Amino acid sequence: MPESLRETEIRLIVEGAGGRYVGVLRDTFEGMETIVLFVSPQTRTTLSIPFSCLTVEAVREQIAESDAAFAGPGSKCKCINRNYERLQSCRNHSVSKDLR
């Protein structure tokens, strides 16, 4: 994680998307990227996103997908962790985009 992006700034990105910031998992496994953890305020589910994909839009999308999966009576969540599927598509995007 770049030193220039402090925890306060990560919190602002998550909260700007409507989530509640939980924390950051660094160096959990060798070669694994840093993961940002946050909670959907509606369902109180804990969600995560790879640091390289951290944008307000990506967090907002993750919350919306989770909320939709839990919407409605008797709904059964068929969630999968899409973070790693998205990793390839967002790897080239800059985190600093939200900080400008």
Write down the pLDDT at residue 73. 59
Low-confidence ranges of the chain (pLDDT < 70): 1-5, 28, 72-100
Write down the pLDDT at residue 29. 74
Residues, the chain, total? 100
Calpha distance 96→28 (Å, rounded):
24
pLDDT tens by residue, 63-78:
999 998 887 655 555 4
Write down the pLDDT at residue 26. 84
Calpha distance 16→60 (Å, rounded):
9
**What DSSP designation does 3 have?**
T
Q: Which helix or strand (DSSP H or E) is residue 39 part of? A: strand 35-39
Are the C-beta atoms of residues 61 and 17 closer than 8 Å to each other? no
Q: Which helix or strand (DSSP H or E) is residue 42 part of? A: none
Write down the pLDDT at residue 47. 95
